[in-house]
Amino acid sequence: MCASGKVALKTPVNKVSKTDRMMKTVTRERNMCGRFGLFAELDALAEQFNFDPSIMQDIYQPRWNIPPTVPVLTVQQSLGERTDSGNTASLLRWGMKGVQGKNQTRASRPLFNARGETVHRLPSFRRAFRERRCLVPADGFYEWIRDESGNRTPVWFHREDGAPIAFAGIWSSESTSDGNIDSCAIITCDANELVSGVHHRMPVILPPESYEHWLSPGEDPADLRAIIQPREWQDMSYYQVSSEVNRASNDYPSLLERAGQTGLW
């Protein structure tokens, strides 16, 4: 629970938010990691990812249904004066401004994901991959199983011991008329055996021993590409959750309650 003790309230069913309308477009892009949750205690996150929790004390809030375009907690290596906490934390908008076409004009939509196979060479991502890498902590992520009729059943992927995980991320800073906007994207890879029965892509989940390597400046790009390859996670599992997850504006703990036939997955 955050310092304020507030929990986001459910959006009335007769209202469709801007986020929900945007997510109808997002779900048509099937190469995406499009939703996750982060609700761990701030002090536990600070200990696991080695940052000073006071940085986020007044702004961190638990979220059970995080969609693209909203601010998300990220961890970067501290570039300032060294302290006992070697990293720093900040909120970055999930969705980078990319470029497209031969003239490299601005893409019309934010780029929420970067494919691990091409992140090192595409104009939208290659500088961030070289110079601005981050961790995106999460308690788990959602995917959807589609049946023959096109119905979508949400499932929740998580560590069996309940510990947070870290997605491999990149970030950028863009100058606008309103000042600098810092944003990030989550790197994806081919699905491992666990996820492949649900979706063909998944977010890159970094093992703890790779955190420092991923965040350190000046690393060899070939070494970085090696640690964002698909890997099996024996301590992870998934189960079916409520279809209320489908509405991105719904954000409350009961979204993670098991639904349907609990023995199905």
Catalytically annotated residues: 33, 143
Structure tokens at 217: 């400046």
In terms of phi and psi (left: phi > 0; alpha: psi -120 to 50; beta: otherwise), the region of 148 is alpha
Q: Is the separation of the CB atoms in 73 and 60 below 8 Å?
A: yes
Q: Is the separation of the CB atoms in 76 and 171 below 8 Å?
A: yes
- The letter for the amino acid at 30 is R
* 245 backbone dihedrals φ, ψ, rounded to 5°: -60, -30
Q: Is the separation of the CB atoms in 53 and 46 below 8 Å?
A: yes
Residue-by-residue DSSP string for 106-135: EPSS-B-EEETTTTTTSTTTHHHHHH-EEE
